[in-house]
Amino acid sequence: MIGAINQILFGDTQIREYATVTVKDIIREKVYLKINETEYEVSQNQWLLCLNPAVFGVWLPGQNNIKHLQKARYSMFFTTVSASGKEKTIAALTLDFFENISDEAGVLVLLKVKAGRIHHLNLFSTRLLYNKYYKKPQTSFEQLKAFSSAYSYPRRVRIISFKEGDYYNIFPMDLLGEIKPGNKYVFGLRHTNTALAKIIQTGKIIVSEVPFEYKDTIYKLGSHHSSGAPPVEKLPFKVIESEQFGFYVPDWVNSYKEISIIKTINLGSHMLLWGQVQNECELKKSTGHLFHIHYLLYLYQKSKGVLYPAV
């Protein structure tokens, strides 16, 4: 019966929290940040960095009026484009100022989600999905709105590497972002991550760009978040050592960046790491990256016939 209802309402019997896709050309979705009465497109400069509470980092190049930012009103809008090219808002968030990191090239403003509205499906279908699949002690309907909004923009998956003495770890992340003008990187690592304390202590980390074809291998590395990695010789792939840090990097990555951590901020369930890129190495051309989108966005795209290629 449940499968039949899913088929009627959603055209798909396998409901999941996130869909995995690749983007062949450009990301169709856009993100806008409204500060008081001024609106900015921040599509490539916004990242979800903490889940509880939900906290975004938004890079504002050239901004330096910190007092203005601290007292401002914030809202964020997520849009997508139909097959006809029409842009539609499918999610909106109101946010409160949390903290900021100033830089000579701009400021990273950290914003905590206050409330949200989502328009991927009608309210009945959204509530049905939530009550059947997403309702958990740790996931309220407000959290569903925050997460489905955040992942209404595709979030790229990358690989993190760390090594100290005989200890190492390699694991995937999508709570991170690259700030190209200042050659900076920002990460949101869960406090339960076994490598976090060591990363903070040594101030070093590596982030790698990975091809979507290695999805299964990437997800298997996800267990390293809480349990640590096996002996390196037991990994199901070969590794190379990075040029400056000597950290292990899977030999199938497209490229990697060696990063020095220069600041940390406790956001809640996650720790923000702010880093400076020290070295970059390109190994092979990309065939396409792996992205996460929320399943509500997937259902919306499916109804409009504008799906990204599934992975």
Phi, psi dihedrals of residue 202, rounded to the nearest 5°:
-85, -25
* Residue 256, both tokens: 């990697």
Whether 164 and 244 share a structural domain: yes
Q: pLDDT truncated to tens, each residue of the chain (311 aa)? A: 345 445 535 565 567 889 999 998 889 999 999 999 999 999 999 999 999 999 999 999 987 777 889 999 999 999 998 777 789 999 999 999 999 999 888 999 999 999 999 999 998 889 988 888 877 777 899 999 999 999 999 999 999 999 999 999 999 999 999 998 889 999 999 999 989 999 999 999 999 999 999 999 999 998 877 777 889 999 999 999 999 999 999 999 999 999 999 999 999 999 999 999 999 999 999 889 999 999 999 999 998 888 999 99
pLDDT, residue 304, reads: 87
In a domain, 311, yes or no: no
Number of H helices, E strands in the chain: 8, 19
Whether 94 and 65 share a structural domain: yes
Whether 178 and 219 share a structural domain: yes
Cα–Cα distance for residue pair 278/257, rounded to 1 Å: 7
Whether 118 and 187 share a structural domain: no
In a domain, 249, yes or no: yes
Q: Residue 226, Cβ neighbours under 10 Å: how many?
A: 11
Tell me which residue range forms the domain holding 88: 2-154+293-304
Whether 128 and 180 share a structural domain: no
Whether 106 and 235 share a structural domain: no
Whether 235 and 170 share a structural domain: yes
pLDDT, residue 8, reads: 39
CATH number of the structural domain spanning residue 237: 2.30.110.10
Whether 181 and 72 share a structural domain: no
How many domains in the chain?
2
Got the DSSP string for 161-184?
EEEETTEEEEEEE-SEEEETTTTE
Whether 110 and 167 share a structural domain: no
Q: Which residues contact 20 (CB under 8 A, 6 or more apart)?
A: 212, 215, 290, 291, 292, 310, 311
In a domain, 145, yes or no: yes
Whether 73 and 150 share a structural domain: yes
pLDDT, residue 1, reads: 39
CATH number of the structural domain spanning residue 76: 2.30.110
In a domain, 147, yes or no: yes
Whether 16 and 142 share a structural domain: yes
In a domain, 288, yes or no: no
In a domain, 287, yes or no: no
pLDDT, residue 11, reads: 60
Whether 46 and 168 share a structural domain: no
In a domain, 309, yes or no: no
CA distances from residue 188 to 36, 61, 102, 112, 285 in whole angstroms, order as listed: 27, 20, 18, 14, 27
